[in-house]
């Protein structure tokens, strides 16, 4: 089935080229995304020059060339600005250059050049740019902003001074295939959970760099009428909303009522403990988001991380398995320590003959700066005394700053 492609002039002689990737199941071959994703490239035309900003994944190289042909002759592209060398944006660069006859200059950060050469074994004409450079291209003044670790160290953004447009690449993007091109109010409401999931999985590890780069962009005092990311919606109605949302996620500003409960239970012995935790959260006015690993369900880490990033606290219940943490939760805890801002945690464990898992979870999370409120580990199923401690632990989670 041919992919859906949206090609539209979104500002004067500035075109969005968006492909909706409905084939992808695992972003970065890691993160389950049934909601899918878009790749957004842009084209600027003027003064006899044509500037292409980023490309699409190589799966859609031919479609990108055909889409460009709907606006200009690809041989007339004079510059290709590669904001970020990750192949979801650069994969079809070799094909575009081939059709272009390698006439265009590839404009990128120095490290971007070495990555592109290594990935694709190509030798186009490169123009290396650095932070603060201003390029006069296609009748526009393009200011280059180096935004390291959003998402890789070589990543740059472009600011089109005449049109007041910030091309932000991965930053300010999200998963899913939004119904619209722009940030219509109703669509934004549907879209933000996909942004949250994208930030947690893709940029969560680099969250301090979100804060640094947002501050850097703000310090430049740019007047921004539109943010044009490489994934998802274009922000035209309220561009500041997505900047503030990114910053809030990076700073770990939580939804004060949202408690994430993650429970692993091999034979159901954890049931009473997690049921009590859920009831107690709800009794105290909280909202539970519950993920259960058992013999009928193994939820995707991507969804759990997306819900972890803005939760007030986490309740994690795990059985002991082979002198360690139940394997899926072991892997999940590792990801949480790397990608999720620190927050209060209540750890519950169950074991058959020797308790290990809860202590190990506590050591891992505590050692990464998470505030472990209590560790309640029991043999078999929870006793009345354990249940009481779980209730008290939930109360402390709410009281914890
Ligand atoms: Fe959308 Fe880091 O690539």
pLDDT in tens, 359-388: 999 999 999 999 999 999 999 999 999 999
Residue 99 CA to residue 74 CA, distance in Å, equals 7
Of all protein residues, the one whose alpha carbon is nearest to atom 1 of ligand 1 is 170
Task: Determine the atom of ligand 1 nearest the C-alpha atom of 152.
Answer: 2
The predicted structure's pLDDT at residue 218: 96
Q: Contact 239/185 with Cβ under 8 angstroms? A: no
Q: Which segments of 57-208 are extended strands (E)?
A: 79-81, 105-109, 125-129, 134-137, 140-146, 156-160, 165-169
Give residue-wise pLDDT tens across range 319-374: 999 999 999 999 999 999 999 999 999 999 999 999 999 999 999 999 999 999 99
Task: Determine the atom of ligand 1 nearest the C-alpha atom of 173.
Answer: 1
In this model, does residue 260 exceed pLDDT 90? yes
pTM of the model: 0.96
The predicted structure's pLDDT at residue 401: 85
| Torsion sign across C-alpha atoms 67, 68, 71, 75 | negative
Task: Determine the atom of ligand 1 nearest the C-alpha atom of 39.
Answer: 1
Of all protein residues, the one whose alpha carbon is nearest to atom 3 of ligand 1 is 86
Residues whose beta carbon lies within 6 Å of some atom of ligand 1:
84, 86, 88-89, 151, 170, 230-231
Average pLDDT value for residue range 193-206: 97
Task: Determine the atom of ligand 1 nearest the C-alpha atom of 231.
Answer: 1
Average pLDDT value for residue range 77-87: 98
CA 178 to chain centre: 15
CA of 168 to the centre of ligand 1 (A): 11
In this model, does residue 52 exceed pLDDT 90? yes
Residue 195 CA to residue 368 CA, distance in Å, equals 25
DSSP 346-386: EEEEEESS---HHHHHHHHHHHTT-EEEEEEEEESSPPHHH
The predicted structure's pLDDT at residue 73: 98
CA of 86 to the centre of ligand 1 (A): 5
pLDDT band (50, 70, 90) for residue 89: very high
In this model, does residue 119 exceed pLDDT 90? yes
Give residue-wise pLDDT tens across range 4-20: 999 999 999 999 999 99
Task: Using alpha carbons, list the distances in angstroms from residue 354 to 2, 315, 325, 351.
Answer: 56, 21, 12, 6
pLDDT band (50, 70, 90) for residue 83: very high
The predicted structure's pLDDT at residue 1: 84
- Which structure tokens are listed for 182? 């722009």
Q: Which domains does the chain show, CATH number per domain?
A: 4-251 (3.60.15.10), 258-396 (3.40.50.360)
The predicted structure's pLDDT at residue 26: 98
Residue 99 CA to residue 73 CA, distance in Å, equals 10
């Amino acid at each position: 089935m041919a992919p859906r492609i949206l090609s539209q002039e979104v500002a004067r002689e500035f075109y969005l080229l968006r492909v909706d990737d409905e084939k992808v199941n695992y972003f970065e071959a890691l993160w389950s995304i049934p909601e899918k994703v878009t790749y957004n490239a842009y084209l600027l035309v003027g003064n006899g020059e044509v500037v292409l900003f980023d490309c699409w994944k190589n799966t859609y190289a031919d479609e990108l060339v055909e889409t460009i042909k709907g606006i200009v002759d690809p041989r007339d592209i004079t510059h290709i600005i590669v904001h970020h060398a990750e192949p979801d944006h650069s994969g079809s660069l070799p094909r575009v250059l081939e059709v272009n006859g390698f006439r265009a200059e590839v404009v990128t950060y120095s490290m971007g050049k070495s990555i592109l050469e290594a990935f694709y074994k190509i030798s186009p004409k490169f123009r290396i740019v650095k932070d603060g450079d201003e390029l006069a291209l296609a009748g526009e003044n393009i200011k280059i902003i180096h935004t390291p670790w959003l998402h890789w160290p070589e990543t740059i953004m472009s600011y089109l001074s005449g049109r007041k447009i910030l091309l932000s690449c991965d930053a300010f993007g999200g998963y899913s295939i939004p119904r619209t091109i722009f940030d219509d109010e109703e669509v934004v409401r549907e879209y933000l959970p996909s942004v949250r999931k994208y930030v947690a999985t893709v940029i969560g590890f680099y969250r301090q760099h979100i804060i640094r780069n947002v501050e850097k962009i703000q310090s430049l005092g740019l007047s921004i009428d539109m943010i044009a990311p490489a994934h998802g919606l274009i922000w035209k109605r309220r561009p500041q909303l997505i900047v503030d949302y990114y910053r809030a996620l990076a700073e770990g500003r939580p939804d004060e009522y949202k408690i994430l409960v993650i429970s692993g239970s091999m034979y159901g012995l954890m049931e009473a403990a997690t049921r009590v935790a859920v009831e107690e959260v709800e009794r105290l006015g909280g909202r539970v988001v519950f993920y259960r690993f058992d013999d009928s369900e193994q939820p995707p880490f991507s969804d759990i991380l997306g819900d972890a990033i803005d939760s007030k606290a986490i309740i994690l219940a795990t059985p002991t398995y082979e002198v360690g943490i139940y394997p899926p939760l072991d892997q999940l805890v590792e990801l949480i320590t790397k990608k999720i801002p620190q927050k209060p945690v209540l750890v519950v464990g169950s074991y058959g003959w020797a308790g290990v898992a809860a202590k190990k979870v506590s050591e891992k999370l505590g050692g990464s700066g998470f505030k472990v409120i209590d560790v309640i580990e029991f043999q078999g199923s929870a006793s009345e005394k354990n249940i009481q401690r779980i209730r008290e632990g939930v109360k402390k989670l709410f009281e914890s700053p």
